[in-house]
Structure 1
Amino acid sequence: MTATRLDPAPPVTRPPAARPRTARLVVGVAGVWLAYVVAHTVLSGRAWWWNLPDLVPPLVFVAVPVLLLPLVTLARPRRRVAAALLVGALAVGWSSAGVNAATLWHRPDPAPADAVRVFSWNTWYWDQLVATGPAGEPIRDPDRFYRFLHAQAADVYLLQEYLYIEAEDWDPIRIDDLDRLRREFPGFHVAVSGELVTLSRYPIVGERPLDLRPHLDRAWSDLPPAESALPAYHTVKTLRTDLAVAGRVLSVYNAHLYVPTVGLPTRAPDTAHDALARHDLRRANVRAIAADVAGNPNPVLLAGDLNTSPAMRLIRTLPDRLVDASGALDSPYPVSWARYGLPLWRLDWVFTSPDVAVHRYRMVPPDGISDHHGQLVVVSL
């Protein structure tokens, strides 16, 4: 018998392993991003010198790990490590990304006949910048401004930036538009403090401007500035009004928190222009609200321009009694602030106590007369 010669089996080919340097680079980038996200979660709203990272666009907390995931294939044999780091970063950063996942399942109840329609809006210096001339100069157009307000058909208006602004030094200029307001909204009750105006179809049975100074960590010598034409603009950033609604009292908080210091966290000691001071002022804003809400037995609605994106952890220091109304929005990524014609992210919020039902909530485009969307919310007690 002749033996049959067997050819040797072809060698098994495997994908070449990535170069160790490439694998280390991918793992390193994933690790650095996870470290940044953890640091942001710990330091945002707590450390004044974290100002610049605090301004990061919220969506990066989703976009960065998602964009890096395809690179995991280059990290053999450390793919699992790289993937775990990116998934961890996505999990930790998810709450800072501004994604409104609740809109997928939350269905508000229909509004009853006696529901209250509330419109909150940062007016962008009232009617000062409503229109522009041929050279880009601002032109007042009060009629257009009031047409926009009337179009909202609200029972309660919470308006911020009731002032003009000095173009060179950005100092507030006091205005008096109360006569026009009362003509435009006959029968409405009006409360004013500094830059904050609350208009209500319901009787205002109490009003309380919340002075932030008792809640500061340290005193600032120029708060308010001695030469300011509107001292309350610097010290009162929330106006509480108690409204008589259907036999009960609804406490409405009209809020406009200080803007974070824009750019590098520079120091200008002993002045409110100092980055540490601005951090202190923002925290004091929230503490003033928290202290007042804690002693308030009434149903509560808080709305306004909080100058706080979803990425800024300061928003999470509001009292637990206040519930974010975002689930009633119909957008998976709500945006309320725009610049250069581009919708960017959210700075405006609505919170309620659990005994206030939110039936409708939407962002209202500002018709080109503000850089903030309005917030229209329909609630009942």
Structure 2
Amino acid sequence: MTAAAVAWLVVVALHRALSGRVWWWQVPELVPPLTFALVPALLLVAVVAARLIRRPQRPQRARRPVAAVAALASLALGAGVSGINLASLWHRAVPAPSGAITVFSWNTWYWDQRADAGREMPPPTGTPPQDAAGFYRYLRAQHADVLLLQEYVYFGPDSRPIRVDGLDRLRREFPGYHVAEAGELVTLSRFPIVLSRGIDLRPWAEGDRDAVVPAGSHWPGFYTVKTLRTDVRAGGETVSFYNAHINSPLDPSTRGLDPRRLDRTQHRARVANLRALAADIDANPHPAFLAGDFNASPAMGILRLLPDRMTDAAPALGSLYPVTWDERLPWWRIDWAFTTPGLTVHEYRLVRSNGQSDHSGQRLVISPSR
């Protein structure tokens, strides 16, 4: 037991030192974050149980406190990456004022692709069929002023991304809304859009800036733009909405949660995207809201690249262990929402997709606080 407790402490210490900094540490990052709290808790229970079950021999008495101390140390060291949302216990919501903004962020899982078997790549086993009309009903049912939608893309059998021609349908489904698009991201706003641009990762890429785009690609923007900034004018205030879908740590050309698909190129693209995003937010004088699919759980140190002035909205969730993916086996939170000090979060809840996606949506009510 002592050896197990000390070994786990070493693993947690290495994780805190290496996660997000070196690409080859991505395998331990794939475990459910709760593991970093459960393992030391179980070790402590085992220590106490052993003491109660039988009177220890002298050598065992000497070793058992070492096991307890190691388990407690790993629990303290790993608490910050466990995904446990302790702040939800004491968070008190501020009532939303008149004119507050309702935001909905969601990874759509290849848009409405599964509604048309003629244009889809083979779905995962057990994936339910999709109803295109139901897809748009789900979006409208959120009653959002601003929608930040990811994976506005189809994929062919060879995993080649295909542009979606769906803006006309969106405008019909959301009359009066303004629409912005970049790469595989689309943002809808009931408020006027005063600025819209995709954030290119290439100025922040390490090594060959064009290496992220596969040879022969007919859609470079799918690979180079993973954040869409949209500034809207609401209630006399300009608010910047950042719609993000940061690269997966896994090679996207194949499927499944297979650690053998981890590689240096994906890690570099993730770092470049987060650095590009942080640089834009740091230079932005407007209050900013950032949400989307970061493909990063609380256990992944790469999130430290986010700007310091961005605050996680999770305390408003009211959940001790919020999860957004995969709805079929919900252990991970990889969809996030952040705000700068210029915004107040009044409500935050996760919305099940009911088979429309493998991600839950994020619905928030916010308002400018100055």
* TM-score, length of structure 1 as denominator length: 0.87
Larger Rg: 1
Structure 2 residue 127 is the aligned partner of structure 1 residue 152: no
Displacement of 1:221:
5.1
Q: Give unpaired runs (5+ residues) of structure 1.
A: 1-25, 267-273
Cα gap change, 1:113 to 1:233, in 2 (>3 Å): same
Displacement of 1:371:
0.2
Aligned to 1:323: 311
For residues 361 and 288 of structure 1, what CA distance do their matches in structure 2 show? 27
Segment of structure 1 superposing worse, 76-85 or 329-338: 76-85
For residues 164 and 138 of structure 1, what CA distance do their matches in structure 2 show? 17
For residues 208 and 179 of structure 1, what CA distance do their matches in structure 2 show? 20
For residues 328 and 59 of structure 1, what CA distance do their matches in structure 2 show? 20
- Paired residue for 1:43, among 18, 21, 27? 18
Structure 2 residue 156 is the aligned partner of structure 1 residue 166: yes
- Paired residue for 1:288, among 273, 276, 289? 276
Cα gap change, 1:264 to 1:140, in 2 (>3 Å): closer
Displacement of 1:51:
1.5
Question: Quick check: 1:173–1:229 contact (8 Å CA) kept in 2?
Answer: no
Q: Aligned to 1:284, what secondary structure does the other structure show? A: helix
Cα gap change, 1:156 to 1:276, in 2 (>3 Å): same
Displacement of 1:106:
0.3
Q: Aligned to 1:303, what secondary structure does the other structure show? A: strand
* Aligned pairs for 1:339-350 within 5 A: 341-350=328-337
Specify the code of the residue in structure 2 equivalent to 1:301.
Answer: F
Cα gap change, 1:227 to 1:140, in 2 (>3 Å): farther
* Aligned pairs for 1:230-245 within 5 A: 230-245=219-234
- Paired residue for 2:286, among 295, 298, 317? 298
- Paired residue for 1:374, among 346, 357, 361? 361
- Paired residue for 1:98, among 77, 83, 88? 83
For residues 180 and 221 of structure 1, what CA distance do their matches in structure 2 show? 33
Identity of aligned residues (%): 53
Question: Quick check: 2:202–2:210 contact (8 Å CA) kept in 1?
Answer: no
* Aligned pairs for 1:66-215 within 5 A: 66-73=41-48, 74=50, 75-129=60-114, 139=129, 141-167=131-157, 169-215=158-204
Task: Give aligned pairs, total.
Answer: 346
Q: 4+ residue runs of structure 1 moved beyond 4 angstroms?
A: 130-133, 135-140
Aligned to 1:6: none
Specify the code of the residue in structure 2 equivalent to 1:317.
Answer: L
Specify the code of the residue in structure 2 equivalent to 1:249.
Answer: T
Cα gap change, 1:68 to 1:140, in 2 (>3 Å): closer
For residues 322 and 220 of structure 1, what CA distance do their matches in structure 2 show? 27
Displacement of 1:130:
5.1
Question: Quick check: 1:172–1:228 contact (8 Å CA) kept in 2?
Answer: no
For residues 136 and 82 of structure 1, what CA distance do their matches in structure 2 show? 43
Displacement of 1:138:
7.2
Displacement of 1:220:
5.6
For residues 229 and 220 of structure 2, what CA distance do their matches in structure 1 show? 18
Segment of structure 1 superposing worse, 66-75 or 342-351: 66-75
Displacement of 1:297:
0.4
Displacement of 1:263:
3.4
For residues 212 and 82 of structure 2, what CA distance do their matches in structure 1 show? 34
Segment of structure 1 superposing worse, 282-291 or 227-236: 227-236
Q: Deviations over 1:79-103 (max 9, x none)?
A: 2211110000000000111000111
Displacement of 1:246:
0.9
* Aligned pairs for 1:353-372 within 5 A: 353-372=340-359
Question: Quick check: 1:96–1:311 contact (8 Å CA) kept in 2?
Answer: yes
Cα gap change, 1:187 to 1:44, in 2 (>3 Å): same
Cα gap change, 1:357 to 1:156, in 2 (>3 Å): same
Question: Quick check: 2:40–2:71 contact (8 Å CA) kept in 1?
Answer: yes
Cα gap change, 1:317 to 1:29, in 2 (>3 Å): same
Q: Deviations over 1:149-195 (max 9, x none)?
A: 0100000000000011123x322111110111111111100000010
The alignment's C-alpha RMSD in Å is 1.9
Q: Deviations over 1:273-299 (max 9, x none)?
A: x71111111011110111001110000
For residues 72 and 313 of structure 2, what CA distance do their matches in structure 1 show? 28
Cα gap change, 1:69 to 1:138, in 2 (>3 Å): closer
Q: Aligned to 1:41, what secondary structure does the other structure show? A: helix
For residues 230 and 162 of structure 1, what CA distance do their matches in structure 2 show? 13
Q: Give unpaired runs (5+ residues) of structure 2.
A: 51-59, 118-122, 251-256
Q: Aligned to 1:77, what secondary structure does the other structure show? A: helix
